[in-house]
Chains A and B, each alone.
Chain A
Amino acid sequence: MLKCNLIRRALALLALVFVNAAYADVVVIVSAKSPITSLSADQVSKIFLGKSSTFPNHKPAYPIDQQLGSPVRDEFYEKVVHKDASQLAAYWAKIIFTGEGRPPKLIVGDKAVVKTIADNPDAIGYIDSSALNHSVKAVLVP
């Protein structure tokens, strides 16, 4: 009986650890008002690299970046776009200095990103999943 309890407690603890780990993950979000329900990593990647200016439903898409060097940004670009900070800087050097486009708008911090995206059905961003609330929805959990 005691053994059983111990195992149950250990499992509960393990579950908690896993849940916590999951909550430290980046999620890609759009406004709760947006008709978009899910996106593939490839679709998100194209929007953030400026290769596509629209969502798959042909509505305009405005990507929002977080601060360079922030863990959430590094995780997003590693998992979704498969580029590290210097690869990304090299990529944008090509685009900017040929006038072909400009990098996503920068908004600092999960809270500010959530607030901006909640108010803009055309915006798309990424945050730590712990900052999720009812005003936005996750469309990709990489």
Chain B
Amino acid sequence: MLKKFCLALLLSSSAGISVAMADQNGVSPDNTEVSAVTDQTMFEFGSYGTVGATHASLNSADFALDAPMPTGAGRSGYLSPSNNTLIAAHVNATFTPDLTAIFQVISEYNANGNYRPEVEWANVKYAFTPDLDIKVGRFALPTFMDSENHDVGYSFVWVHTPFELYQQMPTMSVDGVNAIYHFSMGEAENTVKLIAGQNTTETAAGIVNSKNMRGIFDNLDFGQATFHLGYQTRDTSTQSELAGLNGVWVAASDLTAGLSYDPGSWFFKSEWLQDRTQYKTNAMYASVGYRIDRFTPYLMHSQSSAASAYDNALPYLNMAQKSNSVGVRWDFMKNFDLKMQYLHITLGNNSTGYLVNIPDNVSLSGKTFHVISAVVDFVF
């Protein structure tokens, strides 16, 4: 339904088409005519993507970056392109200053082991006032500070978002309603997002269904600092023959907090999450980087705890791990970056971490290994 609607949008008018990123980059013709400051192009097209390769020092399992990926680097191959390679096409539509829509399709390695394109975002936004927007459709679940742009490598410094944290919440989007309220508090700008809806995500471990999703997320910008707080609840079920999960509905809640400070020449960023089902899991990361001309070297520490059981719940698949990474982003030309990263991972006791494609008879408890990645990100 969403797909049909958005295709209709695309085809319905040939008026005012431009490239989203090109506008920002000043490709518009040199005209000195006075034009109204509120004029907007109706359709803006854009694209982003990443091409890269990953090596993992493993031969008994695969390192995969996202929950849906069935294979990665390690057991399946010395080098894997699938972890970091994706391309997306995006259209922004502005029907009136108050009524806008976005549609985005992404092709990345998925649970079925192919690159079949999927609808990432498709929503219509109406601004009731300049400070109150309502979105309806498929939109990002803003659990983390970079949830909404986690696939847009060009938008952050690292090769990828810290997966010990981000994999705690494999559900990245919601089909539903999102209310966004913006207000100033003295020098600070505050944005509150309320969401309600449902989601189905295919992961390598099985199909994760979420219903009755409710969440409140707050973003406060104060000077060079940004604070993020979130709380969400949902009923979730995982259907997986492999993991012996039979799709029983479980109540889940997540509390998240984040802080970023970026005065320009350097940055600090840290986020934390506590996930509660019958089990409790904590995860966090902290990262610093320094900008030297077109180079941004960075360090990151990231970790997730073992899931501790409440009461007499059964033992659970343990995914505890810690990682330290060092990397660099090089903005080598307009709209492109090159990033390289060395990642050192230590699995917790009895943990398989976020590794996939593990044979039955292999124990990975306490194992350490490294992952080396090189990627090029681009936006148009």
Contact = CB atoms under 8 A, between A and B. Distances in A.
Contact of A51 (B101, B221, B334): B221
Contact of B130 (A54, A88, A99): A54
A24 interface: no
Given A99-B92, A108-B28, A109-B30, A82 B149 contact: no
A105 B28 CA distance: 10
B189 A52 contact: yes
A8 interface: no
B62 to A, nearest CB: 28
Contacts of A100: 148
A115 interface: yes
Interface string B200-236: 0000000000000000000001011000000000000
Interface residues of A, number: 48
Interface stretch (A14-22, A61-69, A126-134): A61-69
Interface string B87-121: 01010100000001110100000000000000001
Contacts, number: 136
Contacts of B263: 82
Contacts of A69: 26
Interface string A30-47: 000000000000100010
Contacts of B155: 90-91, 93-94, 97
A58 to B, nearest CB: 9
A114 to B, nearest CB: 10
A96 B38 contact: no
A106 interface: yes
A120 B37 CA distance: 8
Contact of A82 (B44, B88, B224): B224
B152 A97 contact: yes
A68 B25 contact: yes
Contact of A93 (B33, B39, B189, B379): B379
Interface residues of B, number: 58
Say whether chain A's binding surface is mostly helix, strand, loop, or mixed.
mixed
A40 to B, nearest CB: 8
A64 B20 CA distance: 16
A93 B152 contact: yes
Most buried by A among B123, B182, B263: B182
A82 B221 contact: no
Interface string A57-99: 0001010111111100000000000111111111111101111
Given A96-B21, A102-B20, 16 more contacts: A53-B130, A54-B130, A62-B37, A82-B263, A83-B264, A84-B291, A88-B24, A90-B337, A98-B121, A99-B139, A100-B148, A103-B24, A105-B39, A109-B30, A116-B37, A120-B36
22 contacts: A54-B130, A64-B37, A65-B26, A67-B30, A68-B334, A87-B264, A89-B21, A89-B335, A91-B155, A93-B48, A96-B24, A96-B90, A99-B102, A103-B23, A105-B35, A105-B39, A108-B26, A112-B32, A112-B34, A115-B34, A116-B34, A120-B36
